[in-house]
Structure 1
Amino acid sequence: MTSHAYLDFLRAKMKVAPATGFDVDDADINPDLAPHCRAIVKWALQGGRRGIFAAFGLHKTSIQLELMRLIGKYVGGRRLIVLPLGVRHEFFDEARERFRGEFAIELRFVRRDDEVTDDDVIHIANYESVRDGKIDPRQFVAASLDEAAILRGYGTKTYQTFLPLFEGVRFKFVATATPSPNRTKELIHYAGFLQVMDTGQALTRFFQRNSEKANELTLYPHKEDEFWLWVNSWAVFLQSPADLGFPDDGYVLPKMTVNWHEVPTDHGAAGVDRDGQGLLINDPGASVVHAAREKRISLDARIGKMVELLAEAPDDHCVLWHHLEDERRAIEAAVPGVRSIFGSQDLEKNEANAVGFKNGEFQHLATKPEMSGAGSNFQKHCAWEIFAGIDAKFHDFIQAIYRVVRFGQKRECRIDIIYSEAERGTRRILEEKWAEHDRMMERMTEIIRKYGLGKLPLESVLKRSIGVERTVEQGEYFCIAHNDCVDEAIRTEAGSVGLIVTSIPFSNHYEYTASYNDFGHTDDNEHFWRQMDFLTPELFRILKPGRIYACHVKDRILFGNVTGAGLPTVSPFHAEAIFHGLKHGFDYCGMITVDTDVVTENNGNYRLGYTEMLKDGSKMGVGSPEYVLLFHKPQTDRTKGYADERVAKDREEYSLARWQLDAHAHWRSSGNRLLTREEWAQIPPRSVPKAFRAYSDATVYDHEEVVAIGEVLQSKDRLPTEYMALAPVSHSPWIWSDVVRMLTLNGSQSSRNVEKHICPLQFDIVDRLIDRYSNPGDVVYDPFGGLMTVPYRAIAKGRYGMASELNEVSFKDGLYYCREAEAKRNVPSLFDLMEAPSIEPSIDDLTSEAVR
């Protein structure tokens, strides 16, 4: 019964990178390029904005030069290649070697805008010149970032600067052999730069958040295939020309032997911690200070081991990698004739040393991975590297290794890695990241081998992702459906529902299923409300005239590194929900505010941190409450305020006392007496919230007194950091602050080790709404059923529960709860389980539970 318009909306959710480029004739592509390079050039120009993630030695340099040459021929205008320090010689060498005759090009290295004067040349600049504002990228029609892994760091100055600087450049490319050696989510930083998809949008589309820990994102398991197919629509991952169907003659990596060498450390020199306590062992992972201390402690042992290794092959050329200036000076003192590259060195001297070592003019080069790990090709005369130390920066580490382990290398490569006894954990981190990097590259290789360049079967992927096989389960007092909520609402009889209670998805904050029907699978708030435009009119249609649609919402927290604001801001999602309801014909009758625990919230997003408050209070907002929006479907007779079928109350059954509690919208807890500050300090931390509620209910609120209580608890180390102990209790009629936060079906879910429904409604909220806004026997409806909290409570309240749910696991669990409620059996809540006596179950108990 789903409309064609809704199906079209769902189909449009499958995002692929738009093609903004142009076609080129094969005859116009430089014949000196390898066949796989020619294929990539043609594909990248068709796309206009593409990522080239080709392994070391697969000619990314010549690909970028040819892209710039052909854009100049077909489109014209200024073109720019941005690259790391010390790499420009590679581009000049490549231009001389592969671009001759009618395909000849001219390169010009520029440091500032006044040196950019000619459209007929390809300009080359260092990242620093662009980042520091000396060169404006917007004057170029095309730009390519060489060794673009510099964009990986989302919050770095380079990334945050480059996005707005290059916005609007018509042709954009990124090229690197290590696009994401640490975390899969870093791939979307390239998509953001290329303007393939907004970075925040891509994060919410493909990655799930840990609601209890800020900034922890992992790829949705059910979105993995789609994610990699999406990446393949704008990026090429290439490990060998054979991946694109070309011969791999000459493109077989040399054998590599990795040797780890552990040297002892002096634990007696471990020092002290920040409190002045002596440390038993060195722990370089504890902090940057500890890592630097360990480097100093083990320096002599590591340099000694390096000299010992060099003596094993005294005639071989070798790169000596290090991280500290003290290490460089120690290497220079220990290795006669070594030449070094370092940051304060003149750029021409820096490049001369790199070119000299590349050409075999001297035997040993000492340099840092961050200085020479990108762009330089040392394989012609060198097949040996020694790392005089390690750190956890895997990107720099793997880049350094592949300065010699490259296509074109004729000898077996030897990699010696020296680390101290105290750095075993760092070694483990490097090895784990290396394995993850290999897995990711293998995953993309599978896709490129299967589909090729720009040939994804998007329609078949899409068809498998839309819709579910509708399942309906009924009982005496409920009817729930495993189905898309729009389709299910369309099937529901007009004017048949007495009350709608639901918690709508909070835009694209979470995805609950692998289906494109999922409302969480939207680009942004605007896209979400467009999908709600298909649902809300149906909710209006099925609701009885004059009845209430209660919509639970919460505002969205927007992080400063995504918005560019620099500080967390709030998206007023509840306000958008209000105007959305009005747009579809509902009357707006106000909202109930439900307080939340600000400490728990901060543990989930780190936006209200105490330490940040001390630094600058002007950046601090407040805790974000939840809201229940009350929408009213107009009654037939608008001259009177009564519903067509009134929700009337019996004076005997619905007392004045109960009404007052409902009107005030909060419940009061009891406590036996007031407590002194000393008594507060003796209460176990987990007992503080209940006692404080009783205290707050029984006394006039005194802000300074509450602060004093908190400070006493803090001084005794009894102020919890996992939850809010001294939560303010509201006495306002429109704020409910006494809702039991953990009393949800989610409680029993967690006890059964079943995946949690991310945003379950609390019993207290649902019960109050049902009592206040429906009659016994009414149909209470929830389009986003989840664990079926609403029909579960409706059954308990003598109503008829109806709901739909797209997630199959949640639907099946919700069915269990509805049947339990209908059988009048108590499903234990989390609090029930916490307070139950600890009794070992018998074999019979376990057997009966398994059968049930």
Structure 2
Amino acid sequence: MTIAPDYRQFLDAKAKIAERVGFEVDFSEINPALKPHTRAIVKWGVAGGRRAFCMSFGLHKTSTQLEVMRLLGTRVSGKRLIVLPLGVRREFFNEAAERFTGDFAVRLKFVRGAEDLEGDDTIYLTNYETIREGRLDPSLFLAVSLDEASVLRSYGSKTYQTFLPLFEGVPFRFAATATPSPNRLKELIHYAGFLGIMDTGQALTRFFQRNAAKANDLTLYPHKEREFWLWVNSWAVFLQKPSDLGFSDDGYELPPLDVRTHEVKTRLYDGSFERDGQGVLLRDVGNDLVGAAREKRDSITERVARVSELVAEDPAGHFVVWHDLEAERCAIEAALPMAKSVYGAQDLEAREAIVGDFSDGRLAILAGKPVMLGSGTNLQRHCHRAIFAGITAKFNDFIQAVHRIARFGQSEQVRIDIVHTDQERGTLRILFEKWRQHDETMETMSAIIRQHGLEQLNMADEMRRAIGVTRREAAGRDWRVANNDCVDETRRMADHSVDLVVTSIPFANHYEYTPSYNDFGHTDDNDHFWAQMDFLTPEIARVLKPGRIAAVHVKDRILFGSVTGYGRPSVSPFHAETIFHLQKHGLVFGGMITVVTDVVHENNQTYRLSYGEMLKDSSKMGVGSPEYVILAFKPQTDRSKGYADEKVGKDREAYSLARWQIDAHSFWRSSGDRALTVPELSRLPTETLAKIFPAETMKAIYDYRDHVAVGEALASRDALPTKFMALAPGSADPDVWHDVVRMRTLNGDQAAKGREKHICPLQFDIVDRLIERYSQKGETVFDPFGGLFTVPNRAIRLGRRGTAVELNEQYFDDGVRLLKAAEAGLAVPSLFDLMDGSVAA
């Protein structure tokens, strides 16, 4: 495929790698006391200016951050800050004293608020809580680094949403962590947002596919996986060992972990009752948080007893005992009087003194929660034993706690003992599965960094390989389709060669259909999408005959409050942007058809119209978001008359006055058959009711109170569906089409054969009405976003010629198969035919 230079330049710019906003430094300027791999990462980080250090435990994240901050202080004036988890500042002071001396010395100060700040010659340290509670404004600083940034997960999503934007005005930003969780890749997206690499919402849309049936259920596109990791590696270094960057691993070899599990028995029957009074024969922990918490509380005595036995087996040993509940802490202190605990109510200095005593070998047993003590602290110097007094499904907390002692520099075999109940075997399996996934993710990143190193240019070249497609064409008697970029293909078409355009454009960057940068869904935001449409729409206007219609199917997009910052969902008026875009390129807005949607089904997808939320505050409730067909026409040659250059004439017999009235006004009156009463309607099966209710509302004067009464009567007998709208009102307006059959789409056949669904298929009803209304038999109907070729398929069934373009190779092949079948007999059954029983199984 040959792409025009102007368009190629636009596509090349889609290959995103992180910009460099920092300073180039020579190796001679970097502290020689640091390890070779650390010095290489420091050079890369300072040049980038906004980077993430995802380095395994013991690979010197502390010295990396200190040296980056020191070097920035030699280039520009301003205060520098490192934000730490509680209890970690001791590690930074020790590192500074040990490795930063002479000409490379640094001055550190721990601060609890703005009043503690002094000059710009100091690297300041503070805790996350200080920032979160508003005692220190990040905008006061030139550079900020978040140490062990993964601890933000423990604060919940609200903290992510409110904490990270506080740093938007800081010129230089860094994040350091060892364990971006494998099942929470969105954490990396949060880091990208914090660093200013890419907007969080934009990154989620670019790389993650949505579950159309469940809001916020996102998974990484399989075809985008490598691009995702290449993009991440342009701003984050993932290092498992120095040899990943070509350095020696001497001193960085860990012996295998000795992981042992200890199962304690619990009571299967506890005398409890269900809500209906039935006795519980076997206690069920279940997968819910309540059941898990109950199991934790009920088994404390047995689990702590097993912990005591493990400690007694090695009286001279040093142990870290991890727990999650305060009740567990109390039980551990009672069972192990020689142990000391750290907990939230303690004074910070007292807590750090206890940790210091353990780290230096003066204390033999330390107990604490992973959420509090499990990040950043180095506890390996005199300890190689850790006991988990209970099990958790929170992998990050678990793996961080393990690596307080299992880290580079550990000279002993590390033993990890996990105590769990017989009812928690499933939780144990999940934990180990997450551990396996974590190792796989780290290996993926290690392979990429071994291939590309810290050089971004090679990554950009590889990412740009996803541009272009080998053009293919297929044709039949009345159809021709191409597997190609629609801009390139439309540019090949002759002027005034199309009688009607019917298409459903991508809804900006809502979905991506292919890994190719040619994909219009592979855009950053609405503006970027319309910039690519600027290459296509002039070509559509050129090939469309004067006076003829371009019918463009669109839908407004729901914007979540977590992305916009409004705290509540809002609506992006995409249909309005479509109108203005078409006008910009010389097409004239001729009207808009509204297709109503199922508000209950939509709520299940977006959670934005929740009945429960409406009860709390109805002011945040919007309305269902309909679909629209924008009608635009290309101005005719003779502007003194309103007719197209080639008119779309209708035969009186084929297109009657009655049909015209229905199409134009569609106000139907009853033939005498009356509407069912509220009691009659409420007794009908919901499946039947969903089919007949819209028709019944068309037979009489609409009464809102009767409509509500039917729904309330259904709800009173638990018969009001929550997955679809059973009582959708019928429309008496011709511009609102309420009766579109949403199951009748070509992707039903495709999905039945195990193929990936086409995400946004056009319904037959919409396409048929547009083709019949705005074209004549024998004319050409064009769709630049062909998908499964619904438009040409329906066109040939209605006696027209169909042509379309599709970028996705799989969709193209499936669509050609369907076109050939339609051409062969025009009798291929649709999903709807099978559903209504008109075709034998």
TM over 0.5: yes
- 2:151·2:375 contact (CA, 8 Å) conserved in 1? no
Residues 548-585 of structure 1: CA deviation (Å, up to 9, x unaligned): 00000000111111111111111100000000011001
- Cα distance change of structure 1 residues 725 and 390 upon mapping to structure 2, 3 Å threshold: same
Matches within 5 A, 1:472-487: 472-487=473-488
* 2:567 partner letter: G
Aligned Cα root-mean-square deviation (Å)? 1.9
Other-structure match for 2:836: 835
Give, in whole Å, the separation in 2 of the partners of 1:668 and 1:467.
Answer: 55
- Report SS of the residue matched to 1:218: strand
Other-structure match for 1:563: 564
- 2:468·2:485 contact (CA, 8 Å) conserved in 1? yes
Give, in whole Å, the separation in 2 of the partners of 1:154 and 1:581.
Answer: 46
Give, in whole Å, the separation in 2 of the partners of 1:817 and 1:16.
Answer: 40
Other-structure match for 2:29: 28
Name whichever of 69-78 and 681-690 sits farther off.
681-690
* 1:586 partner letter: L
Other-structure match for 2:502: 501
Give, in whole Å, the separation in 2 of the partners of 1:45 and 1:669.
Answer: 76
Give, in whole Å, the separation in 1 of the partners of 2:671 and 2:190.
Answer: 53
* 1:752 partner letter: K
Matches within 5 A, 1:429-578: 429-458=430-459, 460-578=461-579
Other-structure match for 1:780: 781
Other-structure match for 1:144: 145
- 1:665·1:736 contact (CA, 8 Å) conserved in 2? no
Matches within 5 A, 1:177-192: 177-192=178-193
Other-structure match for 1:332: 333
Residue 150 of structure 1 and its aligned partner are, at CA, apart by: 3.0
Other-structure match for 1:94: 95
Residue 722 of structure 1 and its aligned partner are, at CA, apart by: 1.7
Other-structure match for 1:844: none
Matches within 5 A, 1:93-242: 93-152=94-153, 156-242=157-243
Give, in whole Å, the separation in 2 of the partners of 1:670 and 1:277.
Answer: 56
Residue 206 of structure 1 and its aligned partner are, at CA, apart by: 0.7
Give, in whole Å, the separation in 2 of the partners of 1:668 and 1:81.
Answer: 73
- Cα distance change of structure 1 residues 229 and 60 upon mapping to structure 2, 3 Å threshold: same
- 2:16·2:460 contact (CA, 8 Å) conserved in 1? no
* 1:527 partner letter: H
Other-structure match for 1:379: 380
Residues 13-60 of structure 1: CA deviation (Å, up to 9, x unaligned): 000000001111211111110111000000000100000000000010
- Cα distance change of structure 1 residues 807 and 446 upon mapping to structure 2, 3 Å threshold: same
Give, in whole Å, the separation in 2 of the partners of 1:621 and 1:267.
Answer: 49
Residue 723 of structure 1 and its aligned partner are, at CA, apart by: 1.3
Name whichever of 205-214 and 666-675 sits farther off.
666-675
Give, in whole Å, the separation in 1 of the partners of 2:275 and 2:72.
Answer: 58
- Report SS of the residue matched to 1:708: helix
- Cα distance change of structure 1 residues 17 and 378 upon mapping to structure 2, 3 Å threshold: same
Give, in whole Å, the separation in 2 of the partners of 1:181 and 1:94.
Answer: 30
Give, in whole Å, the separation in 2 of the partners of 1:668 and 1:782.
Answer: 37
- Cα distance change of structure 1 residues 190 and 632 upon mapping to structure 2, 3 Å threshold: same
Residues 165-213 of structure 1: CA deviation (Å, up to 9, x unaligned): 1112111110011123432232111111000111111111111111111
Give, in whole Å, the separation in 2 of the partners of 1:193 and 1:111.
Answer: 22
Other-structure match for 1:47: 48
Give, in whole Å, the separation in 1 of the partners of 2:666 and 2:164.
Answer: 48
Residues 485-540 of structure 1: CA deviation (Å, up to 9, x unaligned): 01111011101111000000000000001111000000000000000000000000
Name whichever of 97-106 and 271-280 sits farther off.
271-280
- 1:32·1:98 contact (CA, 8 Å) conserved in 2? yes
Give, in whole Å, the separation in 2 of the partners of 1:249 and 1:190.
Answer: 31
Residues 369-416 of structure 1: CA deviation (Å, up to 9, x unaligned): 011000111111111111111222111111001001011111111111
Give, in whole Å, the separation in 1 of the partners of 2:514 and 2:672.
Answer: 44
Residues 424-470 of structure 1: CA deviation (Å, up to 9, x unaligned): 22222212211111111010000011111124524542453111111
Give, in whole Å, the separation in 2 of the partners of 1:369 and 1:688.
Answer: 54
Give, in whole Å, the separation in 1 of the partners of 2:155 and 2:474.
Answer: 47
Residue 249 of structure 1 and its aligned partner are, at CA, apart by: 0.6
Matched, 1:398 2:399: yes
Give, in whole Å, the separation in 2 of the partners of 1:239 and 1:418.
Answer: 28
Residue 158 of structure 1 and its aligned partner are, at CA, apart by: 2.9
- Cα distance change of structure 1 residues 677 and 489 upon mapping to structure 2, 3 Å threshold: same
Matched, 1:294 2:326: no
- 1:788·1:818 contact (CA, 8 Å) conserved in 2? yes
- 2:668·2:699 contact (CA, 8 Å) conserved in 1? no
Other-structure match for 1:848: none
Give, in whole Å, the separation in 2 of the partners of 1:490 and 1:709.
Answer: 55
Matches within 5 A, 1:812-831: 812-831=813-832
- Report SS of the residue matched to 1:793: helix
- Cα distance change of structure 1 residues 391 and 594 upon mapping to structure 2, 3 Å threshold: same
Name whichever of 150-159 and 594-603 sits farther off.
150-159
Other-structure match for 1:309: 310
* 1:234 partner letter: W
Residue 654 of structure 1 and its aligned partner are, at CA, apart by: 0.7
Residue 268 of structure 1 and its aligned partner are, at CA, apart by: 2.8
Name whichever of 141-150 and 624-633 sits farther off.
141-150
- Report SS of the residue matched to 1:631: strand
Name whichever of 708-717 and 591-600 sits farther off.
708-717
- Cα distance change of structure 1 residues 673 and 421 upon mapping to structure 2, 3 Å threshold: farther
- Report SS of the residue matched to 2:546: strand
Name whichever of 638-647 and 530-539 sits farther off.
638-647
- Report SS of the residue matched to 1:294: helix
Give, in whole Å, the separation in 1 of the partners of 2:3 and 2:376.
Answer: 54
Give, in whole Å, the separation in 2 of the partners of 1:744 and 1:523.
Answer: 29
* 1:710 partner letter: G
- Cα distance change of structure 1 residues 730 and 301 upon mapping to structure 2, 3 Å threshold: same
Q: Which runs of 5+ in 2 are unaligned?
A: none
Give, in whole Å, the separation in 1 of the partners of 2:229 and 2:672.
Answer: 57
Q: Which runs of 5+ in 1 are unaligned?
A: 841-852
Other-structure match for 1:613: 614
Give, in whole Å, the separation in 1 of the partners of 2:715 and 2:261.
Answer: 47
- Report SS of the residue matched to 2:776: coil
- Over the matched positions of the two proteins, sequence identity in percent amounts to 62
